[in-house]
Structure 1
Amino acid sequence: MYTLSKWQLSGQFIHINGHQIFTKTAGNTHNPALVLIHGFPSASWDWEGMWDELSKHYFLVTLDMLGFGLSDKPFKADYKIAEQADLYTHLLQRLNISNVHILAHDYGDTVAQELLARQVANQSEVHIHSVCFLNGGLFPQAHKPLFIQKLLLSKLGWIVPKLMSKQKFSKNLTSIFGANTPPAPVVIDTLWALLNHNDGLRVMPKLINYITQRKQNEQRWVTAIINSDIPVIFIVGEQDPISGKHMLEQYEKIIPNTRTHSFAELGHYPQVEDAKAITQAYLNFRKQV
């Protein structure tokens, strides 16, 4: 397992658009490039359980988005999904990578949808060859935010960081994991540390605006999946109350001839709850296509 300090030591900070962004790569550069896009409110560390195995097959590229993890968390930023997507295209350009596969989770799914929308509209410098979505709000009408997320979105959102404690964070996190796969203490400790790094709690009410952006851009982002001519799969932990079984049902209804893979026992963080099973499911998807 990667401790947070080990994870940080094996990555590097680069400046993109005036901000310091934590980035990390691994694997053979001759292998296909796989971009890993994390969720809310965590960071690239979410992928640590899959990292070593995936790096045997792919050249891995990841980062902590603006406002997340070890990256800068400016209070005055707008935190637009399009700007988060730009971070990845900037990093890929620096690495001279123009062909990628994407593995995304939660908030990262929305960023992946934006990147896919650019490709569908022929407005992308990066060519995406496949996308794997893990639990995320691909369809706003099927997304069921937690009470704390609704509170963050409201006019009282500013009060949440002041009231948030590690105990409350742990309780909320545990509520979205599978009943038999609760977060280990090290997961809670690490995600809490990442959330607090660079005074991160105070930007949470701004970051949560992605839920509003999903509604505003619903047509563009949903159409991107429907009109995409590349292989796409949705891998889902069904016990997730936010975007679990109900999101899977919506996905299968809206996306024709779709690929899906579900895990009845897992929750919102399938790659953390059972990294081995999700890695295998991803590798199987890539073999099939």
Structure 2
Amino acid sequence: MSVVELKQTYIKVANINLYCEYLLNDKPPIFLIHGFASSTYTFRRIIPLLQEQFSIISVDLPGFGRSEKSTSFVYTFENYAKLLIECMDQFNISNTHIVAHSMGGQIALHMARIAPEKVNKLVLLCSSGYAKSSKKLLIYSSYLPLFERSISYFIRRKGVEKYLKGALFNQALINDEIINEFAKPLSEKAFYTSLIRLLRHREGDLLPKQLQEIRVPTLLIWGEEDSVVPIRVGHKLVKDLPNAQLITYEKTGHLITEERPEPIFKNIMTHVI
């Protein structure tokens, strides 16, 4: 299998600079959406498998990765969804399959709810779900002068390696490369500013009644040892989404694209082709 490097560039969408990796050909498009505190790096192990079958678009969400840490963007899932729909328009894509991980899954569900005609099929990997918005006391506290410094200290103290140990079942996958990649944003002051804006703006996840309105065929894929978004969320989602199925993998954690790239690719192919 020949691997073609995706084009790497910045595009301006809704006056925000988005870092984007893409490969456009005559194949059906597939849009990749990463999760919280992550980036296009999330999909590095499945992109080489997908590229012979699909045109690929993957972006860093505002506030994360190499994209702009905007101080004007309102960081709601609905706004993220609208932004990515506009991103599709810039690529002249009228409809697409979507593969989304963790928080990206909630954004993908919003896209399917806002513009179902633009979403062919959904593949949600360990998707977030049923979380409520931040408590008012925490939101009020975020305006205190030392709050940003406190958040930065708390996240840095925990450390990337400890986070990865909680997100991966296979600890052997933790190496310098993955540690360094996930550690990059922690050195940027603007990252914490965006994080606080997300804390303030993020609405609660879609309610069961809202999920039941989404008719887009959806494949849910979960690691049975996921301690970040437990598998019970997947079992609830498959009941609330009218046209969904759930596949689970033993001895697999939250970063499922790191642990099960080949099986996920096969699942995607079976679901969308």
* TM-score, with length taken from structure 1: 0.80
Residue in structure 2 matched with residue 267 of structure 1 by the alignment:
253
Residue 181 and residue 140 in structure 1: after superposition, are their counterparts in 2 closer, same or farther (change >3 A)?
A: farther
Residue in structure 2 matched with residue 173 of structure 1 by the alignment:
164
Following TM superposition, by how much is the alpha carbon of 1:272 offset from its aligned partner in structure 2, in angstroms? 1.9
Following TM superposition, by how much is the alpha carbon of 1:167 offset from its aligned partner in structure 2, in angstroms? 6.1
- Residue type at the aligned position of 2:30: L
2:181 counterpart of 1:190: yes
- Residue type at the aligned position of 2:82: D
Identity %: 19
- Answer yes or no: is the 8 Å Cα contact 1:72–1:198 preserved in 2: no
Extract unaligned runs of 5+ from structure 1.
Answer: 1-6, 121-125, 146-150
Deviations 1:173-222 (A, max 9, x none): 32122155653331111111145457313322222457x5125xx33xx4
**Matched residues in 2 for 1:11 and 1:209: separation?**
31
- Answer yes or no: is the 8 Å Cα contact 2:121–2:217 preserved in 1: yes
2:82 counterpart of 1:96: no
Worse-superposed segment, 30-39 or 277-286: 277-286
**Matched residues in 2 for 1:200 and 1:15: separation?**
19
* TM-score, with length taken from structure 2: 0.84
Residue 257 and residue 204 in structure 1: after superposition, are their counterparts in 2 closer, same or farther (change >3 A)?
A: closer
- Answer yes or no: is the 8 Å Cα contact 2:112–2:216 preserved in 1: no
**Matched residues in 2 for 1:49 and 1:179: separation?**
15
Query: Which of 107, 112, 123 is the equivalent residue of 1:111?
Result: 107
Which structure 2 residues correspond to residues 132-281 of structure 1 after superposition, within 5 A? 132-140=123-131, 155=141, 158=148, 159-165=150-156, 168-180=159-171, 182-197=173-188, 199-209=190-200, 212-215=202-205, 218-219=206-207, 222-256=208-242, 258-281=244-267
- Residue type at the aligned position of 1:40: F
2:69 counterpart of 1:79: no
**Matched residues in 1 for 2:180 and 2:138: separation?**
22
Residue in structure 2 matched with residue 123 of structure 1 by the alignment:
none
Extract unaligned runs of 5+ from structure 2.
Answer: none
- Residue type at the aligned position of 1:204: L
Q: How many pairs does the alignment contain?
A: 263
Residue in structure 2 matched with residue 49 of structure 1 by the alignment:
45
**Matched residues in 2 for 1:256 and 1:186: separation?**
40
Equivalent residue of 1:131, what SS?
Answer: strand
**Matched residues in 2 for 1:174 and 1:91: separation?**
34
Residue 61 and residue 223 in structure 1: after superposition, are their counterparts in 2 closer, same or farther (change >3 A)?
A: farther
**Matched residues in 2 for 1:178 and 1:70: separation?**
27
Residue 278 and residue 66 in structure 1: after superposition, are their counterparts in 2 closer, same or farther (change >3 A)?
A: same
**Matched residues in 2 for 1:12 and 1:19: separation?**
13
Residue 116 and residue 195 in structure 1: after superposition, are their counterparts in 2 closer, same or farther (change >3 A)?
A: farther
Following TM superposition, by how much is the alpha carbon of 1:130 offset from its aligned partner in structure 2, in angstroms? 0.5
Following TM superposition, by how much is the alpha carbon of 1:234 offset from its aligned partner in structure 2, in angstroms? 0.5
Residue 245 and residue 205 in structure 1: after superposition, are their counterparts in 2 closer, same or farther (change >3 A)?
A: same
Query: Which of 14, 18, 21 is the equivalent residue of 2:18?
Result: 21
**Matched residues in 1 for 2:27 and 2:172: separation?**
33
RMSD across aligned C-alpha pairs, in angstroms?
Answer: 2.9
**Matched residues in 2 for 1:179 and 1:49: separation?**
15
Worse-superposed segment, 94-103 or 81-90: 81-90
Following TM superposition, by how much is the alpha carbon of 1:78 offset from its aligned partner in structure 2, in angstroms? 2.5
Residue 260 and residue 163 in structure 1: after superposition, are their counterparts in 2 closer, same or farther (change >3 A)?
A: closer
